[in-house]
Each structure stands twice: as structure tokens, then as C-alpha cells.
Amino acid sequence: MNFSSRIMSGFQYVFWFFLLNCFTLLLGGLPAIIFYFAYGMQGIFDYFPVFILCLVPLGPAFVALHFTMTRFVIFYDINFKRDFWRIYRQEFWFSLRCSLILAAFAIFIGYDFAYLDMIPFGLFLSPLIVVAALFLLLVIPYIFTVISRYQLSVVKTFKLSFSLMFNNPLITAFHFVFLLFMLILLDSVAGYSSAFFFTIWAFLVMKLHIPLLEKLEGKSLIAK
């Protein structure tokens, strides 16, 4: 491939990353965006359960995005209809159920934080609640990867995801680092980073997860 072809391919990938980010926002993030513009940042704390439920539609979109990024990392190819839209429809109800379970845990943890001072020995329970919230945050990328790759039951999906999280502490730590990096980037250059936030996040996560998938499946996945 000559230099000009590489430049054109680069622009094409940027366009697809932007487009996939837009579809993820439109298909999954619209309720949360409407909530934010209606109630602002303070509304997230005042109506935390409602805000979390507004995030539930992001589940199917994230699963489709993770599948698309997996194919991109392996084959350096993106096909919206074949990859994103097909998986979005195929895994919609299953990923929505998993997202509702995650939302229920998030709301439960949020209520524990809100009423911590009313709970007996609440001061001693606070570290456990913080750890539970951190585990929930760190396991989410594994859950979306597992759903996008394997046909498992809900219980087995969560079991495999938590197993991957605990057995790969370095990759799990990088999830947190990537999230901090993306949030800092979003705060610094909100206009540009928001146009690629979800796709860059999914791409970075899948670059880390491909070796895990190869280990699970016992074969090399990267196209030679």
C-alpha cells in the first residue's frame, strides 16, 4: 500500500469511527442526553435511579460497538450493516437484560451511598461499598466483550466476565486508566473527543481483550 492509499485509509477509518460514535449515541445515549439537558449535572444526583435507567439502552449499542471494534482490530475492516447493525439487532434483548441487571446493582450501590449515615456501622461499610462500585465499573467492559463474542446465559456471562476481571488484574487496571484518560480528554477538548469518545474507548479495550479471547479460544485471531 503506497503513502496516498494509507492516507485515504486513515481518513476512512476516522470517518467510520465518527459514524459509529454517532450511532452509539443515537441508539443508546439519547435518553441520557435528554435527561442531562433537562435536569443538568445536579439532576444526576437528585434523580440517580432515573439517570441510571436512562443509561440502560447503551447496553445493546455498546455490545454492537465492541463487536465492530473486535473485527476492526482483527481484520482492519469496518462494515456497519454486517457488524454493528446485525449484532445490535441480534443481541438487543439479551444485552438489555444484562444492562438492567447492571443498572439494578448501580442503583442499589447508589442508595447505599446516599443513606450511608443512616445505616448502623455505615462508616465501616463505606469501603465495601466503594469496592463494590469499583468492581461494577471495571467488569462492564468484560461483560460487553463476552456478550459480543459468545452465546451464553446471563449467569454464565457474568461469571465469565468476573473471572476475566479477577484473573487479569493488569488489564483490569488499564480499563480504569483508559477511563480516566478518556474523561480527562473529554474535559480538555470536549468538542473533538466527544465525537470519538465511545469508539476510541471500545478500540482501546478490544486491543487489550484480543489476547484474552485468543487464550480462551486457543487460537490466534489477528489476521496475518
- In one-letter notation, the amino acid at residue 200 is I
Residue positions counted in the chain: 224
State how far the Cα of 199 lies from the Cα of 78, in Å rounded to an integer: 12
Q: What is the pTM of this model?
A: 0.86
| Residue 33, domain member (yes or no) | yes
The number of domains in the chain is 1
Beta strands in the chain (DSSP E): none
Burial (CB count within 10 angstroms: exposed 0-12, middle 13-18, buried 19+), residue 140: buried
Give, for all 224 residues of the chain, the pLDDT tens digit: 555 556 656 677 788 888 888 889 889 888 988 998 898 888 888 888 899 999 999 999 999 999 999 888 887 777 777 788 999 999 999 999 999 999 999 998 887 666 665 666 556 667 778 888 889 989 999 999 999 988 899 999 999 999 999 999 899 998 888 888 877 776 666 566 677 888 888 888 888 888 888 888 776 555 43
The C-alpha cell 476475566 sits at 164
Q: Which residues contact 87 (CB under 8 A, 6 or more apart)?
A: 63, 64, 67, 68, 148
| Residue 138, domain member (yes or no) | yes
| Residue 77, domain member (yes or no) | yes
State how far the Cα of 99 lies from the Cα of 94, in Å rounded to an integer: 9
| Residue 224, domain member (yes or no) | no
| Residue 105, domain member (yes or no) | yes
φ and ψ of 115, to 5 deg:
-115, 30
Q: Which domain holds residue 44?
A: 3-217
Neighbours of 196 (CB within 10 A): 18
| Residue 119, domain member (yes or no) | yes
| Residue 222, domain member (yes or no) | no
* Cα separations in angstroms, 125 against 103, 110, 112, 119, 166: 21, 13, 9, 9, 22
Run of H or E residues at 37: helix 30-46
The per-residue pLDDT for 126 is: 72
Q: Is 150 helix (H, G, I), strand (E, B) or coil?
A: coil
